Amino acid sequence: MNRILLRGGRLLDPAGERDGPGDVLIENGRIAAVDADIRADDAEVIDAAGRWVAPGFVDLHTHLREPGHEYKEDIASGGRAAVAGGFTAVACMANTNPVNDDPSVTDYILDRGHQDSPARVYPIAAATRGLRGEIMTEMDALVRAGAVAFSDDGATIMDSGVMRRVLEYSRLAGVPIVVHAEDRTLVGNGVVNEGAVSTRIGLPGNPAIAEAVMVARDLMLAELTGAHLHVAHVSTAGAVDLIRAARGRGVHVTAEVTPHHLVLTDEATAGYDTNTKVAPPLRSLADRNACRAALCEGTLDAIATDHAPHAEHEKDVEFTAAPPGLIGFETAFAVVLDLVRSGELEPLELVRRLSTEPARILGQLGGSLAVDAPADVVVLDPAAEWTYDPAKGYSKSRNSPWSGKTLTGRVIATFVAGRLVYSEERGVLFP
């Protein structure tokens, strides 16, 4: 029998509203007991003193690039990077090649996920065929195949009539629509946030209003249809205000924010580092602070990495030509700990936004240390300092703005279904 005792950690279980010292006993893939002082003589004991023990993180928004772009990432490498970052489950976007707009692709991703990835993999299927924003996908068949949500992430569905129907059918299918909300006509050829920085550095600006306009439309259509709208990677104060007001009216809306939009601003783009080029762009300080406040108050429900690997030869070009996106799994925890250090967020609330809330939004298990729950668990050291070198990480790509930076906060161990799949000392233990 496989029994593991995590002894003497600070237990952070948002689902059970628990924050305090205790032990966790893992048995046969499940959480068998959570208590002040568990005796389990035959169990393997892991000393968690001085550490946080929390439900594994759940990433609502990732790009695993398989099928089709395996030179950037695949499900095996992405899954390894995920557990090294404390993520026990990741939802992956449909902008693969072929696009995940057909149950055969959803099947393939699930198969590869089961075989190749230490983290659980949840496919998000395309909302429209080929992500072209024109013809809806067969939502029922995709949900039956295992899709957990629909999204044309990377592309906004500009046709409001199509968007309305997509929302209507997603409601029938019982899953959320995840929107990349940027009005393409307002984005134009913008590559950084439109403002003083874009003017100073002479790069075309992508205005904050491009996001707010599209969020406003999508919230109105969600209100009309009663569908569950999930707004991806919110980056502006305008979008935050719209989401808050809509939620107040009873609109079924949830929203996520990325670590990079919580911590960085458009000043980071001033050195023309293409690893700071991302969609939506890094915004002004006022926008960033509005996103932080909105995450703390709960208007933004979850943190999602938008892990978006790109190869070195693709990023090693002039800023305007580089594809947007940055990798995020292995740095996420250390980066968002900034909100705890600043006093804005309690550790329990941070874990809620990394684990419990994203699991709830996806309608999947996870985010809980309750007895009998699957033992998806992470052990964290909030004080450990380390220097991030993407070349030593598990992703195939290295496009991170934190490359070479010293970070505080480290993942010590990750368990998926009771199995140790990552330890700081031994690395990823899979298969």
Q: In the bound complex, what is the minimum distance in angstroms from residue 356's beta carbon to ligand NCD?
A: 24
Residue spans of beta strands (DSSP E) within 14-162: 18-27, 30-35, 44-47, 52-55, 57-62, 87-92, 120-125, 149-151
Looking only at residues 34 through 73 of this chain, which bind ligand NCD when binding is defined by CB under 6 A? 63
Q: Cα–Cα distance between 169 and 71 in angstroms, integer? A: 35
Q: Cα–Cα distance between 149 and 304 in angstroms, integer? A: 15
Measured from the CB atom, the residue of 32 and 308 that comes closer to ligand NCD is 308
Measured from the CB atom, the residue of 168 and 314 that comes closer to ligand NCD is 314
Measured from the CB atom, the residue of 56 and 154 that comes closer to ligand NCD is 154
Q: In the bound complex, what is the minimum distance in angstroms from residue 125's beta carbon to ligand NCD?
A: 15
Q: Is 325 in the site for ligand NCD (CB under 6 A)?
A: yes
Give yes or no for a cis peptide into 55 (omega within 30° of 0). no
Q: Is 153 in the site for ligand NCD (CB under 6 A)?
A: yes
CA neighbor of 140 nearest in space, from 103, 104, 100 = 103
Question: What is the H or E stretch that residue 316 is in?
Answer: none
Q: Is 265 in the site for ligand NCD (CB under 6 A)?
A: no
What is the three-class DSSP state of 174? coil
Measured from the CB atom, the residue of 63 and 171 that comes closer to ligand NCD is 63
Q: Is 95 in the site for ligand NCD (CB under 6 A)?
A: yes
> Which residues, in sequence order, are CB contacts of 35 under 8 Å at separation 6+?
22, 23
Assess contact for 230 and 178: CB atoms under 8 A. yes
Contact region with ligand NCD (CB under 6 A), list: 235-243, 264-272, 320-328, 390-398: 320-328
Residues binding ligand NCD: number (CB under 6 A): 12
Residue 359 phi, psi dihedral angles, 5° rounding? -65, -40
Measured from the CB atom, the residue of 276 and 368 that comes closer to ligand NCD is 276
Site string for ligand NCD, 108-127 (x = CB under 6 A): --------------------
Burial 124-161 (b: 16+ CB within 10 A, else e): bbbbbbebebeebbbbeebbebbbbbbbbbbbbbeeee
Site string for ligand NCD, 290-309 (x = CB under 6 A): ----------------x-x-
Q: Is 324 in the site for ligand NCD (CB under 6 A)?
A: yes
Q: Is 164 in the site for ligand NCD (CB under 6 A)?
A: no
Q: In the bound complex, what is the minimum distance in angstroms from residue 309's beta carbon to ligand NCD?
A: 8
Contact region with ligand NCD (CB under 6 A), list: 9-17, 27-35, 190-198, 322-330: 322-330
Q: Is 279 in the site for ligand NCD (CB under 6 A)?
A: yes
Measured from the CB atom, the residue of 64 and 413 that comes closer to ligand NCD is 64
Q: In the bound complex, what is the minimum distance in angstroms from residue 153's beta carbon to ligand NCD?
A: 6
Q: Is 278 in the site for ligand NCD (CB under 6 A)?
A: yes
Contact region with ligand NCD (CB under 6 A), list: 238-246, 317-325, 358-366, 393-401: 317-325
Contact region with ligand NCD (CB under 6 A), list: 81-89, 211-219, 319-327, 408-416: 319-327
CA neighbor of 347 nearest in space, from 50, 25, 58, 10 = 10
Looking only at residues 180 through 219 of this chain, which bind ligand NCD when binding is defined by CB under 6 A? 180
Measured from the CB atom, the residue of 279 and 420 that comes closer to ligand NCD is 279
306 part of the active site: yes
Q: Is 229 in the site for ligand NCD (CB under 6 A)?
A: no
Q: Is 235 in the site for ligand NCD (CB under 6 A)?
A: no
Give yes or no for a cis peptide into 259 (omega within 30° of 0). no
Strand partners, 151: 178
Q: Cα–Cα distance between 404 and 287 in angstroms, integer? A: 26
Q: Which tokens is 363 given?
A: 């309608």
C-alpha of 104 from chain center? 24
Q: 3-state secondary structure string, 215-252?
A: HHHHHHHHHHHCCCEEECCCCCHHHHHHHHHHHHCCCC
The active-site residue out of 101, 218, 306, 338 is 306
CA neighbor of 14 nearest in space, from 335, 375, 366 = 366
Q: Is 261 in the site for ligand NCD (CB under 6 A)?
A: no
Contact residues: ligand NCD, CB under 6 A: 63, 95, 153-154, 180, 278-279, 306, 308, 323-325
Q: Which residue numbers are catalytic?
A: 306
